[in-house]
């Protein structure tokens, strides 16, 4: 009895391949999975992260200028997102929360188009089928059961494929969520189903230390990764600010899932350096000392240090910054040119095919609109103002 009641382990191994000084550290287990990350690839990662951060800042500014209802900053989580996103294959399918802007970028989704959601004029703005990047889910953790269901379907689709075909064409699913979501029941259910059906899904948790204003230590007494054992799947705790390590472990996890060995849980330990959203003020619940403690662990800083130490010149960094500014200007131009949707359009996207009830409701709505005394010129402008 005594031994059964022994305390749960409060420590877990922590995978890091690039330390905060930019020094590449050797790791016998993970080095093979990081081998593909040469200097050129790493420069690509750096470009992704810089671009994501610049567009993130521009989007925050647009919210402050009244052009967006809300923005969810990703600052600090670039390595976790780019490392994971770049480990996926085109046939994989990814379920984001609402903060995975850098993942979106790696899937070819334009962040500018994503702003439709945050302007409140669309539920999406990009094509999940061609990008393999699902629409954002605003309800915490709700996407995790969806991801498992999708993975279960993928497994059925790939039934009977031989090993070679699976390696070539096989897909897997990544379910993104955060430490806050990990406290939700949906994540538990998703993990139970994933393991009982051996679904090809990677649970990728960005533990950014804060569930809005609730610190991680309030949510869990043990590292999240330790929960994986309870479901019977491998768990990996990785430095979420180390893009190389994240990339390596995610590649391994996706291959594990893809090859039919079942789900994997990855806890990427990172830090949300900004506010939870533009409606949040982190100074009310955490100290400046804590925030500054993560300055040196910044995900971009260590890659820059590494690249510079290995011969990448200033002109590369200058060009990246200039390119990011151009993209920021394009993002701004795109966002300012969004047309205002008409409410009538909403009736068109309920079903793929014509539907008698929806048609009836549309007719009713149009009649209702026409029922006002001042029925002339009932154009989109009026409806648009009604929805603002």
| Nearer to other proteins among residue 75 and residue 135 (C-beta) | 75
**What are the φ and ψ backbone dihedral angles of 239, each rounded to 5 degrees?**
-70, 105
Q: How far is the CB of 305 from other proteins (least distance, A)?
A: 10
Out of 129, 156, 159, 368, the residue judged to bind other proteins by CB under 8 A: 368
Contacting residues for 275 by C-beta, under 8 A, at least 6 apart: 73, 281, 282
Q: How far is the CB of 183 from other proteins (least distance, A)?
A: 22
Q: How far is the CB of 234 from other proteins (least distance, A)?
A: 22
Q: Please report whether residue 14 would count as binding other proteins according to CB under 8 A.
A: no
E strand residue ranges, the chain: 93-95, 173-178, 201-207, 210-211, 214-215, 235-239, 264-269
Of 48-56, 141-149, 184-192, 261-269, the segment contacting other proteins by CB under 8 A is 48-56
**Touching other proteins, residues 143-172 (CB under 8 A):** none
Q: Please report whether residue 87 would count as binding other proteins according to CB under 8 A.
A: yes
Of 51-59, 135-143, 286-294, 350-358, the segment contacting other proteins by CB under 8 A is 51-59
Contacting residues for 314 by C-beta, under 8 A, at least 6 apart: none
The H-assigned helical ranges of the chain are 31-34, 39-64, 78-85, 101-106, 111-119, 128-131, 143-157, 163-169, 185-196, 216-219, 227-231, 243-258, 288-293, 299-309, 314-336, 343-348, 356-370, 380-387
Q: How far is the CB of 338 from other proteins (least distance, A)?
A: 6
Q: Please report whether residue 35 would count as binding other proteins according to CB under 8 A.
A: no
| Nearer to other proteins among residue 53 and residue 155 (C-beta) | 53
**Touching other proteins, residues 332-351 (CB under 8 A):** 332-334, 336-340
| Nearer to other proteins among residue 167 and residue 232 (C-beta) | 167
Out of 77, 81, 88, 226, the residue judged to bind other proteins by CB under 8 A: 88
Residue 263 host element (H or E)? none
Q: Please report whether residue 315 would count as binding other proteins according to CB under 8 A.
A: yes
Q: Please report whether residue 138 would count as binding other proteins according to CB under 8 A.
A: no
Q: Give the span between the Cα atoms of 322 and 339, in whole angstroms.
A: 28
Q: Please report whether residue 15 would count as binding other proteins according to CB under 8 A.
A: no
| Nearer to other proteins among residue 269 and residue 307 (C-beta) | 307
Out of 12, 19, 27, 70, the residue judged to bind other proteins by CB under 8 A: 70
The two structure tokens encoding residue 201: 């899904």
Out of 18, 53, 176, 207, the residue judged to bind other proteins by CB under 8 A: 53
Out of 101, 116, 119, 256, the residue judged to bind other proteins by CB under 8 A: 119
Q: Which DSSP category does 329 fall into?
A: H
CA nearest neighbour of 238 among 83, 104, 383: 83
Of 176-184, 228-236, 263-271, 375-383, the segment contacting other proteins by CB under 8 A is 375-383
Return the number of other C-beta atoms located less than 10 Å from residue 222's C-beta. 13
| Nearer to other proteins among residue 48 and residue 179 (C-beta) | 48
The two structure tokens encoding residue 74: 């990703």
The two structure tokens encoding residue 304: 């820059």
Q: Which DSSP category does 232 fall into?
A: T
Is there a contact between 76 and 272 (Cβ–Cβ < 8 Å)?
yes
For β-strands 264-269 and 235-239, DSSP reports them as parallel
Q: Please report whether residue 363 would count as binding other proteins according to CB under 8 A.
A: no
Q: Give the span between the Cα atoms of 253 and 259, in whole angstroms.
A: 10
**What are the φ and ψ backbone dihedral angles of 201, each rounded to 5 degrees?**
-135, 140
**Touching other proteins, residues 275-294 (CB under 8 A):** 278-281, 283-284
**Touching other proteins, residues 99-118 (CB under 8 A):** 105-110, 112
Out of 196, 319, 359, 366, the residue judged to bind other proteins by CB under 8 A: 319
Q: Please report whether residue 182 would count as binding other proteins according to CB under 8 A.
A: no
**Touching other proteins, residues 206-265 (CB under 8 A):** 247
Query: CA angle, 329 as apex, 323 and 335 as ends, to 5°?
Result: 135
Q: Give the span between the Cα atoms of 201 and 30, in whole angstroms.
A: 20
Query: CA angle, 95 as apex, 105 and 51 as ends, to 5°?
Result: 15
| Nearer to other proteins among residue 75 and residue 227 (C-beta) | 75
């Amino acid at each position: 009895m005594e031994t059964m009641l022994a305390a749960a382990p409060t420590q877990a191994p922590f995978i890091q391949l690039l330390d905060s000084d930019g020094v590449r550290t050797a790791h016998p287990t993970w080095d093979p999975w990081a081998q593909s990350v040469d200097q050129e690839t790493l420069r690509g990662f750096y470009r992704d992260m810089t671009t994501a951060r610049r567009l993130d800042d521009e989007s925050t500014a647009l919210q402050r200028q009244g052009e967006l209802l809300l923005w969810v900053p990703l600052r600090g989580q670039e390595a976790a997102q780019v490392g994971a996103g770049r480990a996926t294959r085109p046939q994989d399918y990814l379920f984001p929360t609402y903060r995975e802007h850098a993942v979106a970028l790696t899937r070819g989704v334009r962040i500018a188009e994503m702003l439709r959601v945050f302007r409140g004029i669309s539920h999406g703005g990009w094509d999940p089928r061609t990008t393999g990047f699902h629409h954002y889910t605003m309800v915490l953790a709700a996407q995790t059961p969806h991801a498992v269901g999708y993975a279960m379907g993928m497994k059925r689709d790939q039934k009977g494929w031989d090993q070679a075909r699976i390696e070539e064409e096989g897909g897997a699913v990544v379910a993104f969520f955060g430490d806050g979501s990990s406290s939700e029941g949906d994540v538990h259910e998703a993990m139970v189903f994933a393991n009982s059906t051996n679904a090809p899904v990677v649970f990728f948790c960005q533990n950014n230390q804060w569930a809005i204003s609730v610190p991680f230590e309030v949510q869990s007494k043990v590292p999240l990764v330790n929960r994986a054992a309870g479901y019977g799947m491998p768990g990996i705790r990785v430095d979420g600010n180390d893009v190389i390590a994240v990339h390596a472990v995610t590649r391994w996890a996706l291959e594990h899932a893809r090859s039919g060995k079942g789900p994997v849980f990855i806890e990427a330990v990172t830090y949300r350096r900004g506010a939870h959203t533009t409606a949040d003020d982190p100074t009310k619940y955490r100290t400046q000392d804590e925030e500054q403690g993560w300055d040196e662990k910044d995900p971009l800083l260590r890659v820059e240090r590494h690249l510079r130490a290995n011969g990448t010149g200033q002109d590369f960094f200058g060009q990246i910054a200039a390119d990011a500014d151009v993209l920021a200007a394009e993002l701004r131009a795109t966002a300012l040119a969004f047309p205002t949707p008409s409410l009538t359009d909403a009736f068109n996207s309920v079903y793929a095919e014509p539907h008698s009830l929806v048609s009836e409701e549309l007719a009713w709505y149009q009649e209702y609109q026409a029922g006002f005394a001042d029925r002339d010129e009932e154009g989109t402008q009026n409806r648009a103002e009604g929805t603002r």
